[in-house]
């Protein structure tokens, strides 16, 4: 950390922003294999939250690599840096009073722990999209698993690079078994019971 840079504290606090928005701000961190349904589920949850009047934004793995992380590859070091940047960006969003939903494979426990450590307790909600690789491969609309099996893609999670399952996620969603709306409603119910949102109103 450079000692010639000082954090400037905003006059408008996170608490005031949350009060104006009518809900808490936090990170919903969707993790799982490619094809596990992370992005689809994150966007469905966002849609429901939007209908409730919540301020939200989804950070999608592919989208982020078009801009913020376009300079990164898929080496172990680059993957860690990718997650670090998203963690820092998500931290800024929750300070702005926004619910940040992130859909990233984020295969390494250490990287996910780092993001958790950036924010206060209760601000990081890890959602493990637990889907067997066999199902993920059947869903392979982008043809990535096939290319990885042929050796055309190096460091592909689940094939030539490991995925470390979460030790103790806040939620485990079986996206290979349950339908999209069932999975989304489970998450919404969790948020309501945790006092993060209020159903249908500000």
Give the residue numbers marked as catalytic: 106
Beta strand 56-60 with 27-31: parallel, antiparallel or unpaired?
unpaired
Only one residue has tokens 């909600």, namely 125
Residue 170 has a CB neighbour count (10 Å cut-off) of 16
β partners of residue 30: 103, 127
Residues 172 and 128 sit within 8 Å (Cβ to Cβ): yes
The residue ranges of DSSP E strands in the chain, in sequence order, are 27-31, 56-60, 99-103, 124-129, 171-173
Q: Is the CB of residue 59 less than 8 Å from the CB of residue 101? A: yes
Provide the 3-class DSSP secondary structure of residue 27. strand
71: phi then psi, degrees, rounded to nearest 5: -90, 0
**Closest by Cα among 126, 132, 130 to 145:** 132
Q: Which two tokens stand for residue 189?
A: 């119910």
């Amino acid at each position: 950390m450079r000692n010639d840079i000082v954090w400037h504290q905003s006059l408008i606090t996170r608490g005031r922003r949350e009060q104006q928005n009518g809900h808490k701000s936090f990170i919903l961190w969707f993790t799982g294999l490619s094809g596990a349904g992370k992005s689809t589920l994150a966007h469905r949850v966002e849609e429901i939250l939007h209908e409730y009047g919540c301020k939200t934004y989804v950070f999608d793995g592919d989208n982020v690599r078009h801009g913020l992380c376009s300079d990164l590859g898929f080496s172990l070091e680059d993957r860690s840096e990718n997650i670090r940047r998203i963690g820092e960006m998500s931290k800024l969003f929750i300070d702005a009073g926004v619910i940040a939903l992130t859909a990233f494979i984020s295969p390494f426990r250490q990287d996910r722990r780092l993001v958790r450590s950036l924010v206060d307790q209760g601000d990081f909600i890890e959602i493990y999209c637990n889907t067997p690789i066999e199902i993920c491969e059947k869903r392979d609309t982008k043809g990535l698993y096939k290319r990885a099996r042929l050796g055309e893609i190096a460091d592909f999670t689940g094939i030539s690079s490991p995925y470390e399952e979460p030790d103790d996620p806040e939620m485990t969603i079986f996206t290979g078994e349950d339908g999209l709306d069932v999975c989304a409603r489970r998450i919404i119910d969790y948020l309501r019971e945790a006092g993060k949102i209020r159903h249908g109103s500000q």
